């Protein structure tokens, strides 16, 4: 049996239980303090670290009675963040002096910022972190922790997408807790996207439970898609970039004309993502956003959920290239007169469905957007 001290997110008992794969009913939990260290948020991250310093005190949770399996699972989860175990002296809330192992970051890896609060973190990030941890721990015993770490930002984006999905309006007809039965579930692939497979049954329209089905789906987060429109000059901005999926299926022109688009980052709204992506991909600032609808992009195969926008912008400057080099993006912008844009739509030259949807919305709402120019 081993004793560990948690000063950060694993003080959150629902997360601790998920990582351990069992409830904490038979684990001894004691409030304790680590002296000589302070707990701080990691700059540009949503988790904390401890930083050494005279007079600093970190409050946390002493967890006693952990099994070797528990330790393996904890190391697997924390290993993705480059944290290692160190034995340090503690003082419990009853004044007892004990020694326990503590996860400390690799020196110099992270930069501390402001003092960290478990209560504030749980309110802002607890639910999302649970969803991300569910995906991480589903790979325990199948993938090494070293393969989780480079994909963790994508895992968090997917967790944000799952969280947004769970907050959508429930059906008035169906109850997924009774009308869907999952017999097996797995994640056979992990990359920037992940693939999920399941053997399941769902209730049929006649009220009976249907046959056992084998289904798979591409799981990603939710995304913002935007077409900048200049109502004064009556023109739109679209982008062009190479798309590997089109190339994979043999399309002779995998450089596609699309709307500006990107995944919604954790803690970001779709509107904020739309504005950010327009700056990154097209070097254009949007003054006002209009929702052009939202929904699943291909509900038979993918969980991707799109938030569509038209954004008012000044398109007086010539089109440029854009994109983030860190993401391998090479993007060219095109500024097209509205009439020409709609001709391309009518002639079937636009091959990107979100762009087609936004073009149709703009066609119905253009006069309203130009009313006050």
pLDDT band at 18 (very low <50, low <70, confident <90, very high): very high
Q: What is the largest CA-CA distance in the chain?
A: 78
Which pair of structure tokens corresponds to residue 172? 């008035």
Q: Which has the closest alpha carbon to 27: 68, 65, 74, 70?
A: 65
Phi, psi of 209 (to 5 degrees): -85, 130
Give 179-204 pLDDT, tens digit per residue. Answer: 999 999 999 999 888 999 999 999 99
- Percentage of the chain exceeding pLDDT 90: 76
Catalytic position from the list 78, 327, 329, 340:
327
The Cα 250–Cα 15 span in angstroms is 45
CA 61-62-68 angle, to 5 degrees, is 120
Query: Mean pLDDT score of the chain, rounded to an integer?
Result: 92
Q: DSSP string of 227-295? A: EEEETTTTEEEEEEEE-HHHHHTT-S--EEEE-EEEEPPTT--HHHHHHHHHHHHH---EEEEEEEEEE
The Cα 221–Cα 261 span in angstroms is 13
Q: DSSP string of 105-154? A: EPTTSS-EEEEP-HHHHHHHHHHHHHHHHHHHHHTTTTS-HHHHGGGHHH
pLDDT of amino acid 324: 62
Helices (H), 283-335: none
The answer to whether residues 133 and 19 touch, using CB atoms and an 8 Å cutoff, is yes
The Cα 92–Cα 98 span in angstroms is 8
Instruction: For the chain, count helices (H), then strands (E).
Output: 10, 17
- Percentage of the chain exceeding pLDDT 70: 97
The Cα 117–Cα 115 span in angstroms is 7
In which element (H, E) is residue 355 found?
helix 353-370
Residue 79 has pLDDT above 80, yes or no: no
The Cα 252–Cα 339 span in angstroms is 27
The Cα 221–Cα 202 span in angstroms is 24
Give 152-172 pLDDT, tens digit per residue. Answer: 889 999 999 999 999 999 999
Residue 26 has pLDDT above 90, yes or no: no
**Residue 111 annotated among the catalytic residues of the structure:** no
The mean per-residue pLDDT over the stretch 173-181 comes to 96
Domains and CATH numbers, the chain: 2-147 (3.10.490.10), 178-220 (no CATH), 222-370 (3.90.79.10)
The mean per-residue pLDDT over the stretch 225-239 comes to 97
pLDDT band at 105 (very low <50, low <70, confident <90, very high): confident
């Amino acid at each position: 049996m081993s004793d560990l001290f948690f000063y950060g997110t694993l003080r959150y008992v629902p997360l601790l239980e998920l990582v351990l794969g069992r409830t904490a009913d038979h684990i001894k939990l004691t409030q304790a303090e680590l002296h000589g260290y302070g707990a701080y948020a990691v700059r540009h991250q949503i988790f904390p670290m401890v930083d050494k310093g005279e007079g600093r005190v970190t409050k946390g949770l002493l967890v006693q009675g952990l099994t070797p399996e528990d330790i393996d699972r904890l190391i697997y989860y924390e290993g993705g963040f480059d944290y290692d175990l160190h034995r340090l002296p503690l003082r419990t809330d009853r004044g007892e002096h004990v020694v326990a192992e503590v996860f400390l970051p690799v020196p110099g890896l992270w930069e501390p910022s402001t003092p960290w609060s478990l209560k504030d973190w749980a309110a802002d990030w607890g639910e999302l972190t649970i969803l991300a941890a569910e995906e991480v721990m589903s790979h325990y015993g199948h993938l090494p922790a070293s393969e989780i770490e480079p994909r963790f930002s994508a895992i968090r984006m997917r967790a944000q997408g799952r969280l947004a999905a769970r907050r959508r309006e429930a059906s008035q007809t169906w109850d997924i807790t009774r009308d869907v039965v999952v017999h097996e579930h797995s994640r056979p692939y992990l990359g920037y996207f992940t693939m999920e497979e399941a053997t399941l049954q769902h209730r049929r329209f006649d009220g009976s439970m249907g046959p056992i089905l084998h289904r798979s789906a591409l799981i990603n987060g939710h995304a913002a898609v935007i077409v900048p429109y200049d109502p004064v000059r009556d023109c739109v901005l679209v982008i062009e970039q190479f798309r590997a999926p089109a190339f994979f299926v043999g399309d002779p022109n995998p450089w596609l004309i699309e709307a500006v688009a990107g995944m919604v980052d954790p803690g970001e709204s779709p509107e904020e993502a739309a504005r950010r992506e327009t700056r990154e991909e097209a070097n254009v600032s949007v003054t006002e956003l209009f929702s052009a609808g939202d929904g699943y992009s291909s509900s038979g195969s993918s969980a991707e959920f799109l938030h569509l926008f038209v954004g008012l912008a000044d398109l007086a400057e010539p089109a440029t290239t854009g994109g983030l080099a860190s993401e391998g993006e090479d993007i060219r912008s095109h500024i097209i007169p509205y009439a020409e844009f709609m001709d391309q739509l009518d002639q079937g030259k636009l091959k990107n469905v979100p762009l087609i949807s936004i073009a149709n919305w703009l066609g119905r709402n253009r006069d309203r957007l130009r009313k006050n120019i």
